[in-house]
Structure formats: structure tokens, C-alpha cells
Amino acid sequence: MAADGIDVARADALADAHDRDVAESQDAPDGGEEPDHLRLRRERAERRAAKVERDLSGPHRAAAYQRLVLGSDLEDSVKVILCVMVEEFGSRLENCFPRRATIARSMGRQRSLKSIDRRLQVAVRRQWLRRIPLTRGEDGTLIEVAGGRFTSATGFVFCVPPDVIAPGHPGWDGPRVWTKRIYARRPDGRRVP
């Protein structure tokens, strides 16, 4: 019996020591010093966020964006559409105004326009894309195309939602440069630079 009492007392002492260790490892209240493991985790997240922001503003920004998309929790079909849009229409993450039919052709499989539109809506709703109407100029006048017709197009701005780059990070609102340059196509289908 005495051995059982000693074992129980020892187990209680070990549990108390563990509880003290856990309490000490938590954030210190009232502006106390931050524990090393939490400080290291925070610094690592800050370094990662700074690196991703540098990558999104550098020459390989499309690859950085695609890495973020592929590592996200989006549906695979939405990931495919975003990556195809970056690769085919917005390789510099500046201009992207493809038609849904063009996106479907670029994916290599026969997709309905309705399914493409649904996946684009998911990307917009999840804040990976932002729609920009291109019907008016910066001065508010309607944009006229050759032949007296007015344009009715929508462009897409690539974005990164909050908390994807790092926990607590506000996200990325897209490129700082946004132009309304529309890519012309040659008769053989290649883009004119």
C-alpha cells in the first residue's frame, strides 16, 4: 500500500512540474519576455513573408504566384484555371483579360463556359482574383473600339488572400502596374508583343 501512495505522490509531482513547464512556455502576460520558440516561429514567418513579397515584385513573380496557388487549399480545378491564366495570359501578373472560351481552349480539355465561369467565381470569392471592368477610361468616358463600337470587357487582377503568405499577413492586392493594353493576335494565333 505504501508503494502505491509513493507512486501516486510521484505522479502528482511530475504532473505539477509538467504544468509549470507548460505555463512558463506560454506567452508571458503584461509585456513579459517572449519565449524563444515563439520568437523564432514569429521571426521565421516574418522572413518567409518578406521573401514572398520580394518574389511577387521581382522578375519571377508568376512562378511565385503559382507556388502560392498550388500550395493553397483551393479545389484542383480552380488551381488549374489560375495557373493557366498566369501562364497563358498574365505571365507578368500585370494584364489578364481572356475570354472564357479562350481559357477553355488553353486548358487543353473541352470545358463548358459555365464551368469556367463557376471556377472563376470561386477564385474571385476566395480573393485569388479581382474583376476589373474595362468599359470606362480613367476619365470616366466610355472606351471606344475601332468601328464606333464600345468595349465591354472584364480584366482580372491576380491577388493573394490574407493569411496565405503567413499567419496574420494582410495578403497581396495585385500588381502595382495595371495597364489596359490588350494583346493583339497574329493570324497564326501568336501574341504580338
**pLDDT higher than threshold 90 for residue 18:** no
pLDDT score at 31: 57
Instruction: Report d(CA 76, CA 81) in Å as an integer.
Output: 9
Show Cβ contacts of residue 65 under 8 Å, excluding neighbours closer than 6 positions.
56, 86, 93, 158, 160
Distance CA 116, CA 81 (A): 8
| Residue pLDDT, tens place only, 35-82 | 888 889 888 888 988 998 888 888 888 899 999 999 999 999 899 999
> How far is 19 from 79, CA to CA, in rounded Å?
44
Q: What is the pLDDT of residues 144-188, one digit of tens each?
A: 665 555 555 777 888 999 988 888 888 888 876 655 554 445 556
Q: What is the pLDDT of residue 4?
A: 53
Q: What are the extents of the domains in the chain?
A: 42-175
Q: Is the distance from CB of 139 to CB of 151 less than 8 angstroms?
A: no
CA distance 15 to 26: 17
**Top-level CATH class of 42-175?**
mainly alpha
The pLDDT tens digits for 114-156 are 888 899 999 999 999 988 776 666 666 666 665 555 555 777 8
pLDDT value at position 24?
59
Are the CB atoms for 75 and 122 separated by under 8 Å?
A: yes
Length of the chain, in residues: 193
> CB atoms < 10 A from the CB of 81, how many?
27
Q: Which of the four pLDDT bands, split at 50, 70 and 90, describes residue 27?
A: very low
Amino acid at 155: G
pLDDT of 105: 84
pLDDT for the residue 82: 92
